[in-house]
Structure 1
Amino acid sequence: MFEVREKPEMVERALLVRIYFDPREEDEAASLLEELGELVSTLGIGIVESVLVRSRQQHKKHICGTGKAAEIIALAKAHECDVIVFDNQLAPHQQRTWEREGDTCVIDREEVILDIFAKRAQTKEARLQVELARMQYALPRMARMWGHLDREGGGGAGGGGAANRGMGEKQIEVDRRMAHVRIDRARRELEEVRKQRATQRKERERLETPHAAIVGYTNAGKSTLLNRLSGSDVLSKDMLFATLDTTTRKIELPDGQPLLLTDTVGFVRNLPHRLVEAFKATLEEAVLADFLIHVLDATSPEIERFHDTTLEVLKELGAEEKQVVTVLNKIDLVTDPETLRALDRLFPDSLHVSAATGEGTERLLQKCSEVMADRVRRCHYRIPQHRADLVSLLHRDAKVLTTDYEGNDILVTAVVPASIAGRLESFTELPA
């Protein structure tokens, strides 16, 4: 009933518009407009033209001046567009003005991202997060969406009826009230999901399993890297926001230590603030991880901006102090030596990796072992057979490498986490 947009299932022809104000921002604006094209294409909408518009100052009515607005509307009509998509964030009254004057559907970058999220969300948590963000976005826009029902109704005749609508209450007021009810319900259900996730985290913490979150710009190859390292089959496609649901896999590092790897939703520039808030339950994996693996697309000409965007979102989440392992992915596609040198100058401590071919992944795993080195140590133990409980402990909470028997003793070599090392110290025979 409450959709961000009541529109046909298939919108075929879109005009993309980015309005900028400072001449120094032209390159950045062009890059953002190109990214908007990728986002719109992800929805399966055809793009007839992309227009970069400079305005001397912001105007309350259209963002740009009335003359520029008339030109944009004329261009949309000339192309017979179904929709005008703005890369700028539109206030509700601006959106209504553009639609009224242009007599066509008008949406902004935030609505595009919300529509993508709505199509891709799979788990209950992600669907709740999408619903919450969409309802918060839709609420101030209901005057536009429900204008045909903006009339008073009294008593029980027609419309919502007395059971739903009070005396003299407009349909839009009923809908707003119902929207608030749905927002409150989504928040309550999300809180339950967060409690469940907290319980799962406590179990992980009890087992002292180290945890890394894979973060980065959308379409950088995070899911492909997780698949390569874990042998799993998480959805990985060459499209923006292919992953919306958190996926965690357990792998084994070269020193035998287990590591939980979590794939997270990709970041974009100008990510709507309400989406950061709505997706806190998913993105908090980055906050709670022991360290982060920041994946960058080495082939992207915008790699530096994408890097900065990810760091900005991490800062907003409170994860900026985490140790970060920087990975330059798709390195097999970079063949120019000067480009490689430039990347190394930009990111001097980064690792060269190709998630597609496996190049560099062994070095990445070794780096993860080094990051978590203080969490484990490799030891030889001589344990009397009557203390088989300690052997069981090693099998449960450590990585047992070898087991042998000598007289009445059990000889065990294991990679042991710090959490249990103290209980076995008196049985240490010699360091491995």
Structure 2
Amino acid sequence: MFEVREKPEMVERALLVRLYFDPREADESEALLEELEELVRTLGIGVVEKVLAKSRSMHKKFLCGTGKAAEIVDLAKAHECDCIVFDNQLAPSQQREWEAAADLCVIDREEVILDIFAKRAQTREARLQVELARMQYALPRMARMWGHLDREGGGGSGGSAAARGMGEKQIEVDRRMARVRIDRAKRELEDVRKQRATQRHARERLETPHASIVGYTNAGKSTLLNRLSGSEVLSKDMLFATLDTTTRRIDLPDGQPLLLTDTVGFVRNLPHRLVEAFKATLEESVLADFLIHVLDASSPEVEAFHDTTLSVLAELGAGEKQIITVLNKIDNVSDPDQMAFLRRTFPDAIHASALKDIGIAELLDACSTALASRVQRLRYRIPQSRADLVGLLHRDAKILSTDYEGNDILVHAVVPAAISGKLEGFLTEPPE
């Protein structure tokens, strides 16, 4: 039975490595290496040292030259490391070369992210998406995962081995089984997408507007959803705390309902196969009426995080959506220079703190403004004999007040454009 290799629990000491080839990439590479440390620690693996190394050119065997590779291997052995983790993406052949040279487990950034996703996935949809991404990643690397892969099965029953010929190698069996599981995961994910489409159509029939909360991982998206909706979505100070979308309904200041969806966070160099595998989750960003982009204002990399999120959104086809930018954790910014930078770089952003309830009212007002064209505040005089119209308002609008005068019902409501035409003959005054 094919299984993706799990990291053994004994892995406690890791050496982190980032190779870069252009001097202009030094600062960005250093930031990426710091982020890799957070990712690795999220798996519960200790980091003994980080190596940022420049190579004059990209080599086929080790990505860097053999001399630099030998230095890295010696350093890992001197620290008695269990594992070497590369921030660079390694080809399967390069991974095998590094493991042969170091006699250690060698993984890259993509495998770290996949392992985190595997630990955090809760719903069937998320588990399917993780399984698909991990299997696609592991398939070309299977030769390094087993010691039994050169075994051969029999070519048939009866006769001598020479007559039967060479059998099917174990690795060929495992690869075939892996492809079967990949195909099955794709089919099951397609079923999930159909179910989500059915749920989405139900939302559309109700004409309830929808916003998605997007942003870099650990920016505070789930905490913001909890603050806005009063729900208790998992929100922890860790990378990728949320892998499953959560949707909550709130009422805006103008009385209009809004569906808010929390989405999986982004990272720089997000593996493309994860973007593909998680499209069923991230498509909420594409289909929303507008997006709430949450940034960690206290992070020195806030501008890079902003650009990463917009890049992924563009790849998903959501680059042209209306966006409300929220600088979360603003209470953690005490440096006046950092504050000036934020105001200069994000002049239209809302300064907020989901934990301290700062800027929440301003954000709700911005959501109302974003949907202003969808609703109107209207006053109606409806005969009691047309209770069906009152029922329509209760179902699809937001009732602000109800009074009675003679045989008429006086209703003040926030009414979506989709139903306002059905009640036009009962208006008592022009729209507000």
| TM-score tier after normalising by the smaller chain length | over 0.9
Cα shift readout 1:102-156 (whole Å, capped 9, x = no counterpart): 1000000000000000000000000000000000000000111124332222157
Greater displacement, 315-324 / 333-342? 333-342
User: Are the equivalent residues in 1 in contact too, given 2:220–2:328 (CA < 8 A)?
Assistant: yes
1:145 aligns with 2:141: no
Tell me what 1:296 maps to: 295
Q: Which amino acid aligns with 2:361?
A: E
1:121 aligns with 2:121: yes
User: Are the equivalent residues in 1 in contact too, given 2:256–2:375 (CA < 8 A)?
Assistant: yes
Q: Which amino acid aligns with 1:27?
A: D
Q: Which amino acid aligns with 2:263?
A: T
User: Are the equivalent residues in 1 in contact too, given 2:135–2:178 (CA < 8 A)?
Assistant: yes
CA distance in 2, matches of 1:383, 1:167: 85
Name the SS for the 1:27 alignment partner.
helix
1:103 aligns with 2:103: yes
Tell me what 2:423 maps to: 424
Q: In the TM superposition, what is the alpha-carbon distance from 1:6 to its structure 2 partner?
A: 4.6
User: Are the equivalent residues in 2 in contact too, given 1:10–1:45 (CA < 8 A)?
Assistant: no
User: Are the equivalent residues in 1 in contact too, given 2:222–2:242 (CA < 8 A)?
Assistant: yes
Cα shift readout 1:133-189 (whole Å, capped 9, x = no counterpart): 0000000001111243322221579xxxxxxxx961001000000000000000000
CA distance in 2, matches of 1:424, 1:248: 31
CA distance in 1, matches of 2:84, 2:287: 40
User: Are the equivalent residues in 1 in contact too, given 2:155–2:168 (CA < 8 A)?
Assistant: no
Name the SS for the 1:255 alignment partner.
coil
1:173 aligns with 2:172: yes
Name the SS for the 1:403 alignment partner.
strand
User: Are the equivalent residues in 2 in contact too, given 1:330–1:355 (CA < 8 A)?
Assistant: yes
Tell me what 1:160 maps to: none
CA distance in 1, matches of 2:54, 2:90: 16
Name the SS for the 1:254 alignment partner.
coil
CA distance in 2, matches of 1:40, 1:187: 29
Cα gap change, 1:211 to 1:81, in 2 (>3 Å)? same
Map 1:23-422 → 2, pairs under 5 A: 23-154=23-154, 168-422=167-421
How many residues of Structure 1 are paired with residues of Structure 2 in the alignment?
A: 424
Q: In the TM superposition, what is the alpha-carbon distance from 1:301 to its structure 2 partner?
A: 0.4
Tell me what 1:163 maps to: none
User: Are the equivalent residues in 2 in contact too, given 1:4–1:111 (CA < 8 A)?
Assistant: no
CA distance in 2, matches of 1:378, 1:6: 57
Please report the TM-score for the alignment, with normalisation by the length of structure 2: 0.96
User: Are the equivalent residues in 2 in contact too, given 1:382–1:428 (CA < 8 A)?
Assistant: yes
User: Are the equivalent residues in 2 in contact too, given 1:17–1:33 (CA < 8 A)?
Assistant: yes
CA distance in 2, matches of 1:115, 1:98: 20
Name the SS for the 1:107 alignment partner.
strand
Tell me what 2:160 maps to: none
Q: In the TM superposition, what is the alpha-carbon distance from 1:298 to its structure 2 partner?
A: 0.4
CA distance in 2, matches of 1:99, 1:179: 23
Cα shift readout 1:207-258 (whole Å, capped 9, x = no counterpart): 0000000000000000000000000000011110000000000000000000
Tell me what 1:161 maps to: none
Cα gap change, 1:195 to 1:167, in 2 (>3 Å)? farther
Query: Tell me, which stretches of 5 or more residues in structure 1 are unaligned?
Result: 158-165
CA distance in 2, matches of 1:312, 1:427: 48
Please report the TM-score for the alignment, with normalisation by the length of structure 1: 0.96
CA distance in 2, matches of 1:204, 1:314: 22
Q: In the TM superposition, what is the alpha-carbon distance from 1:338 to its structure 2 partner?
A: 3.0
Tell me what 1:21 maps to: 21
CA distance in 2, matches of 1:364, 1:125: 31
Q: Please report the RMSD computed on the Cα atoms of aligned residues, expressed in angstroms.
A: 1.2
Name the SS for the 2:428 alignment partner.
strand
Greater displacement, 174-183 / 143-152? 143-152
Cα shift readout 1:283-342 (whole Å, capped 9, x = no counterpart): 000000000000000000001100000010001000000000000000111123332222
Q: In the TM superposition, what is the alpha-carbon distance from 1:60 to its structure 2 partner?
A: 0.1
Name the SS for the 1:401 alignment partner.
strand
User: Are the equivalent residues in 1 in contact too, given 2:13–2:45 (CA < 8 A)?
Assistant: yes
CA distance in 2, matches of 1:61, 1:362: 56
Cα shift readout 1:13-52 (whole Å, capped 9, x = no counterpart): 0000000011111110000000000000000000000000
